[in-house]
Amino acid sequence: MAERLADPALVEAAVEIKLGNGESCDTCLAVPLGGRRVAGEITVTGWSQALIVLLALEGKQGFPDLRDGSYSSAIDAPRTIRWGLRTHAEGPRQRARMWGYHDAGVQAYVAEQTRDDPRIPVTPLPALPAAPSVARIYDLLLGRRGDSYMADRAFLRSLAPADAEALSTAAVVNRTHLPAVVSHLTALGIDQFLDLGSGLPAATDFRPSDNPLHAPLHAIVARHRDTARVVYADHDRTLFGFSRAVLSEHPMKPQCVQGDIRYMRRFLTSGRVQHLLDWSRPIAVLVHDVLPWIGTDTIVKRLLAVLREQLPPGSAVSITHAADLGENRMSRFTKAFRAAGIAYKPRDHAFVEALFGGWPLESPGLVPTNRWHPGHPHAALAPHEAGALAGLAFKPEPIAGETKSAVVRPGVASSTQSSAESDHGQALTAARHRQHPS
C-alpha cells in the first residue's frame, strides 16, 4: 500500500481492522484521507464484516462520510465500505487517482482492476446523495449535466419552466461576468486568486474549443497569467474529489480547499489557506454568487468585515449577489429553495454596497452584473434578468498616523481616499512574513 500511495506517510495513520476472531482472521488496512487521497474503500465478504469496519472507523479523523455503499445487496454478499467524496469515478484510473496513488500506483491498480480475475471486486458507483446541492443545481443551470444527481434535476423540474429559465439566465449572466473581472485584475498585476464558494472547479478537462461558459477560473486566468496562483474554496466537500486529482496535473497546479466561509477568520488563518497564498502581496478574492446562499445578514456582514480586515493592502474583492431588480423578483425563489433545504436570500443595493466597507469601487460601481462591463455577452438583457448586482473594489493602503488611506491598486499610481479599514489585524502581520510556496 505504502508503495502505491503518493503520500506513503498516510499508512502510518491507517487503521488496521481485524475481520473475525482467532488466528485465521483476515485483517485489512483503512487509509485515511490526506495528501492527494480524497476517497477510500474496503470491500468485505458480508454484512457482519461490514459492521466491524463501520464500527472501527466511525468518528475517526480522516474517514469522513463513512458509508456502506452496497445497502441493497444480500446480507452475505460482498460489500464495499467507502469514505470520502461522493463523486462519480467510473474508471479504475479515476478511482486510483481519488485513492491518492502516484503514477506508478495508478498503473498497478489499473492493471489489477482490468485483469480478468473474478476475485478482484469491481467497485460499484457511490450511492446517490438524497439532497440537492447548490453547486450541482448551479451547474445544471449552466448546462453542465455531468455532475448532477437525481435530486438536483428533480428540484429544477419542480419549478415552473419560466422560473427555471429565469434562474438559468441569472446563472449564465453571473458566470459570463468572470472573464471581465479576471482580465481587469490581471491587467492591474494581480496574480493570486481565491475563489470563495467556487462550486465545482468546472470542466477539469476543459479545452479551449469547449463552451466558454464552462471554462474554469484557472483556465481564464491562464489566458492572462499562466503563473498565477488559483485557490478554489467551497464548503461542499463532495465537489473536489475528482477535480483535485485532475487539477494536480494542470501546469498552474490550482488548489482546492474545503472550508465554510461563515467562519471566515478560521478559514483564512487555517494553515492551508495561509500556505497556499502569499499574504504579503495583493490577493483577489472572488465572492461570486455565494453570499445569497448564506441566509443570515449578520453572518454575511461579519464574514466580509473579517475578509476586508485580513487581506493585504492592494487586494481586491469582487462580489456578485442576487438582488430584486424590478419585475420578476429573485426573492420569489427563496421559498422553493428553502423547501429543498437550501437557504437563499437576495439582498438590496445598500446591503451589498456596505459589504465593501467603504473601499472605493472600481468603475462603474455596483451595478446589474450584465452592465458591469460593456463587453458582457448579455449586456442587452434587462437588469431584472441578470437578477444580481456586481462590484469590485481594492483595499486601500492605510497611511500611518492618519485616518486617510491611499488607494494602492497594483500597477497603478496611488490616490488618496478615506477608508473604513484601519486595523489589519495581527494575523495578517504575521502572515505577511510567510514565503510563497514553491
Ligand X SMILES: C[S@@+](CC[C@H](N)C(=O)[O-])C[C@H]1O[C@@H](n2cnc3c(N)ncnc32)[C@H](O)[C@@H]1O
Which stretches of the chain bind ligand X, using CB under 6 A? 134-135, 138, 174-175, 197-199, 234-236, 260-262, 288-290, 293-294
Give me the long-range contacts of 105-114 (CB less than 8 A, separation at least 24): 105/3, 105/4, 105/5, 105/6, 108/4, 109/4
Q: Contact at 8 Å (CB) between 426 and 413?
A: no
Pairing of strands 229-234, 255-258: parallel
Is the CB of 50 or the CB of 355 nearer to ligand X? 355
Q: Contact at 8 Å (CB) between 273 and 310?
A: no
Element (H, E) at 423: none
Q: How far is residue 249's CA from residue 270's CA, in Å, rounded to a whole number?
A: 25
Q: Which three cell numbers stand for residue 380?
A: 442587452
DSSP 284: E
Q: Is 291 left (phi over 0), alpha (psi -120 to 50) or beta?
A: alpha
The least distance separating ligand X from the CB of residue 138, rounded to whole angstroms, comes to 4
Q: Which three cell numbers stand for residue 421?
A: 479599514
Is the CB of 109 or the CB of 232 nearer to ligand X? 232
Q: How far is residue 264's CA from residue 257's CA, in Å, rounded to a whole number?
A: 13
Is the CB of 184 or the CB of 235 nearer to ligand X? 235
The least distance separating ligand X from the CB of residue 426, rounded to whole angstroms, comes to 24
* Residue of minimal Cβ distance to ligand X: 197
- Residue among 427, 229, 432 nearest 310 (CA): 427
Is the CB of 4 or the CB of 235 nearer to ligand X? 235
Is the CB of 260 or the CB of 324 nearer to ligand X? 260
The least distance separating ligand X from the CB of residue 235, rounded to whole angstroms, comes to 4
The least distance separating ligand X from the CB of residue 174, rounded to whole angstroms, comes to 5
- Residue among 393, 391, 380, 386 nearest 420 (CA): 393
Q: Report CA Rg, the chain.
A: 24
364 preceded by a cis bond (ω within 30 of 0): yes
Is the CB of 288 or the CB of 409 nearer to ligand X? 288
The least distance separating ligand X from the CB of residue 111, rounded to whole angstroms, comes to 36
Is the CB of 290 or the CB of 431 nearer to ligand X? 290
Is the CB of 190 or the CB of 286 nearer to ligand X? 286
The least distance separating ligand X from the CB of residue 33, rounded to whole angstroms, comes to 19
The least distance separating ligand X from the CB of residue 422, rounded to whole angstroms, comes to 27
Q: How many helices (H) and strands (E) in the chain?
A: 16, 15
The least distance separating ligand X from the CB of residue 21, rounded to whole angstroms, comes to 45
CA dist list (Å): 231 to 23, 277, 318, 347, 392: 49, 8, 15, 27, 19
